[in-house]
Amino acid sequence: MPLTEDGRHLRVNDSEYSSLVEALARKVRQSAWKFDIVLCLARGGLRPGDVLSRIFDKPLAVLSTSSYRAAAGTVQGRLEIAPQISCASCNIAGRVLLVDDMVDSGETLRAVVQWLAVQHPEITELRSAVIWQKAISTFVPEYVVEFLPTSPWIHQPFEKYDGMNVQDL
């Protein structure tokens, strides 16, 4: 996936995105770490979290977080973390794989890890997995597919829906 000439943008299509999620699954598998549940951060971690849950045959839990809301999701604001995790058939305990699409500044993952330690002390081990880690991040996940030294803006294939409404279809 080529960066723009100035290194400020990375455009990813559907096929590339799927390949990156599969590469993330391979990294987790190669570590031989056994986990009990996949906890994904919505919205960015929903797609990779769902795939990892299916591939590893583990329950999927979802924690909604939000900080990029303004200007069709391009301006970061105050981080909000939902008061609870949604999971149909699991307890948030044991070994948890925390999944997001990327670590940008690192603020979201750091805040969620701290929140989980307080809200779910029954978690015995927590590891994080992302597709992309930007150089500006102050948080380093255990599993990363691509390190991005120029910290570009990543244009993901589903972002075409940002700012769109049903009348636009």
Residue 69, pLDDT > 60, answer no
CB contact burial 127-165 (16+ within 10 A = b; e otherwise): bbbbbbbbeebebebebbbbebeebbebebeeeeeeeee
Q: Report residue 55 as tokens.
A: 């591939």
Whole-prediction pTM value? 0.90
Residue 129, pLDDT > 60, answer yes
8 Å CB contact between 96 and 118? no
8 Å CB contact between 10 and 153? yes
What is the reported pLDDT for 72? 45
What is the reported pLDDT for 76? 59
Task: Quickly tell me which residue has 């290194």 as its tokens.
Answer: 7
Residue 1 binned pLDDT confidence (cut-offs 50, 70, 90): low
Four-way CATH pick for 14-69+76-157: 3.40.50.2020, 3.40.50.720, 3.40.1190.20, 3.40.605.10:
3.40.50.2020
Lowest model confidence (mean pLDDT) among 28-32, 77-81, 115-119, 151-155 = 77-81
What is the reported pLDDT for 75? 52
What is the reported pLDDT for 115? 95
Task: Determine the average pLDDT of the residues in 41-50.
Answer: 96
Kindly give, in sequence order, each residue whose CB lies less than 8 Å from that of residue 110, ignoring residues fewer than 6 positions away: 138, 139
Q: Residue ranges per domain, the chain? A: 14-69+76-157
d(CA 25, CA 129): 9
Q: Report residue 159 as tokens.
A: 């972002």
8 Å CB contact between 1 and 15? no
Sign of the four-CA dihedral 141, 162, 62, 67 = positive
